Amino acid sequence: MESYLVDITLILDSTVRLAVPLILACMAGLYSERAGIVDIGLEGKLLAGAFAAAAMSAVTGSAWLGLLAGIAAAMMFSGIHGLASITLKGNQTISGVALNFLAAGLTTFLGQSWFKRGGYTPQLSGDQRFNPITLPFANELREVPILGQIYYELISGHNIITYFAFIVVPVTAWVLFRTRFGLRLRAVGENPKAIDTAGISVTRLRFQALVITAVLVGIGGAYLSIAQSAGFNNNMSAGRGYIALAALIFAKWRPGPALLVCLMFGFLDAVQFRIQGQSFPIIGEVPVQAIQALPYVLTVILLAGFIGRAVAPKAAGIPYTKER
C-alpha cells in the first residue's frame, strides 16, 4: 500500500512540473485572446523565451538574468505580432504561424552560431538554474504517513517559477473579472467599437494585453530551459504552445477550467513516462512512439467528449479599423 502511495505521489509531482509551462502559456494566451488577438504564436514565444533564458544564463551565470532575457525575447516576438496584426491590420493567424517558424529556425541558427553545439546551449548548473525550494518543516514531516509524504514530495521541492505559475491563475481570474482593466480588456475582445466610442484606445488595450502575454509566456519558456531542464535543446517547447492554446479553447477562455485542463495533460504526460518500456497483457510491449502520443490522443478524446460548444470572443481575429 505504501509503495502505491509513493508511486501516486511521484506521478502527481511530475504532473505539477510538466503542467507549469502549459499553465503559464495558457494564462498568457488568455489575456491576448480575451483582447481579441488570436495568438497562435504562443509556441514561438515559448521557444524564443527558452532559448534566450538559457543563452543568457550560460553567458552570465545568473538564472535571474536568464529569466529577464526570456521575457525580453517573448516581448520582441509579441511586438512583431502586435505590429503585424494590430498596427498593420494583418491576418493574426498567419502572423502567429510565421512567428513559430521564425522561432524554430532562429533558435537553432543562433544556438549553432554562438555555442557550436548543434543548436544546444551549454549545460547549466548551480546559480545558472532555478533550483528546488524546500519549504519549512518539509524534512521533519517527511516520515509522517500520507500527509508528510504529500507535503515533502508534492508541495515542497519545487522551484520559484512553479509556485508563481499557480499564483498566476487566481490573479488572472481577479484581474479579468474583478477589475476595470479586465472589464475593458474583455470588452475590447467582444465589441471594440463600443470601447472606441467610449474614448478608450483599442490599440493601446490590445498592446497592453500582448505585453502581459509576453511576460507570462517568457517566464514559461525560461522555466523549460533553466528550471525544468539544464539548458536549451532544439524545439524543446515540443508543441506546448499549441496545447496551451487548445486548453484555453477547451476551457472556454476561463482561468480555472484552463488550469484543470493543463493539469490533466500534465498528468497524462507523467503517466506516459512511467509506462514506457512496460509490458502489457495480451498486447505485450507498446512502441515508445505510441506511448509518447498517448497524452495528446487522450486529451483530444476526453475533452472532445465533455467540452460542448466553445464560443470565442466575438472580435477575436478581426482587425479593428476605426471609423472616420
pLDDT in tens, 4-28: 677 788 888 889 999 999 999 999 9
Determine, yes or no, domain membership for 323. no
Average pLDDT over residues 138-164: 83
The parent domain of residue 232 ranges over: 2-306
Share of the chain above pLDDT 90, in %: 44
Among 291, 290, 242, 293, which Cα is nearest to 26's? 242
**Partners of 158 in the beta sheet?**
133
Determine, yes or no, domain membership for 320. no
- What pLDDT, on the 0 to 100 scale, is given for residue 278? 67
Q: C-alpha grid cell for residue 195?
A: 470601447
Answer with the residue of higher pLDDT: 308 or 44.
Answer: 44
Helix, strand counts (H, E) of the chain: 12, 2
Average pLDDT over residues 185-204: 88
- The helix/strand/coil state of 129 is coil
Rounded to an integer, what distance in angstroms lies between the CA atom of residue 126 and that of residue 124? 7
**Average pLDDT of every residue of the chain:** 86
pLDDT in tens, 69-89: 999 999 999 999 999 988 888
- What pLDDT, on the 0 to 100 scale, is given for residue 200? 86
Rounded to an integer, what distance in angstroms lies between the CA atom of residue 46 and that of residue 213? 11
Average pLDDT over residues 240-249: 87
- What pLDDT, on the 0 to 100 scale, is given for residue 1? 45
- What pLDDT, on the 0 to 100 scale, is given for residue 309? 66
- The DSSP result for 255-276, as a single string, is HHHHHHHHHHHHHHHHHHHHHT
Determine, yes or no, domain membership for 237. yes
Among 164, 132, 209, which Cα is nearest to 21's? 164
In CATH, what number is assigned to the domain containing residue 104? 1.10.3470
Where in the chain does DSSP place strands (E)? 279-280, 284-285
- What pLDDT, on the 0 to 100 scale, is given for residue 238? 84
Determine, yes or no, domain membership for 311. no
Please count the structural domains in the chain.
Answer: 1
pLDDT score of 57 more than 90:
yes
C-alpha angle with apex 222: 205 to 117, nearest 5 degrees? 130
Determine, yes or no, domain membership for 143. yes
Q: C-alpha grid cell for residue 5?
A: 502511495
Answer with the residue of higher pLDDT: 68 or 318.
Answer: 68
DSSP-based helix, strand, coil % in the chain, nearest 5: 70, 0, 30
Rounded to an integer, what distance in angstroms lies between the CA atom of residue 19 and that of residue 322? 40
**One-letter identity of residue 298:** L
SS (H, E, C) 227-260: HHCCCCCCCCCCCHHHHHHHHHHHCCCCHHHHHH
pLDDT score of 143 more than 80:
no
Determine, yes or no, domain membership for 318. no
* Model confidence, pTM: 0.91
Answer with the residue of higher pLDDT: 293 or 280.
Answer: 293
Q: Residue 252: what are its φ and ψ, rounded to 5°?
A: 60, 40
Answer with the residue of higher pLDDT: 148 or 221.
Answer: 221
Q: C-alpha grid cell for residue 15?
A: 504532473
Determine, yes or no, domain membership for 152. yes
pLDDT score of 304 more than 70:
no
- What pLDDT, on the 0 to 100 scale, is given for residue 323? 61
The C-alpha cell 472556454 sits at 252
pLDDT score of 284 more than 80:
no
pLDDT in tens, 154-182: 888 899 999 999 999 999 999 999 999 99
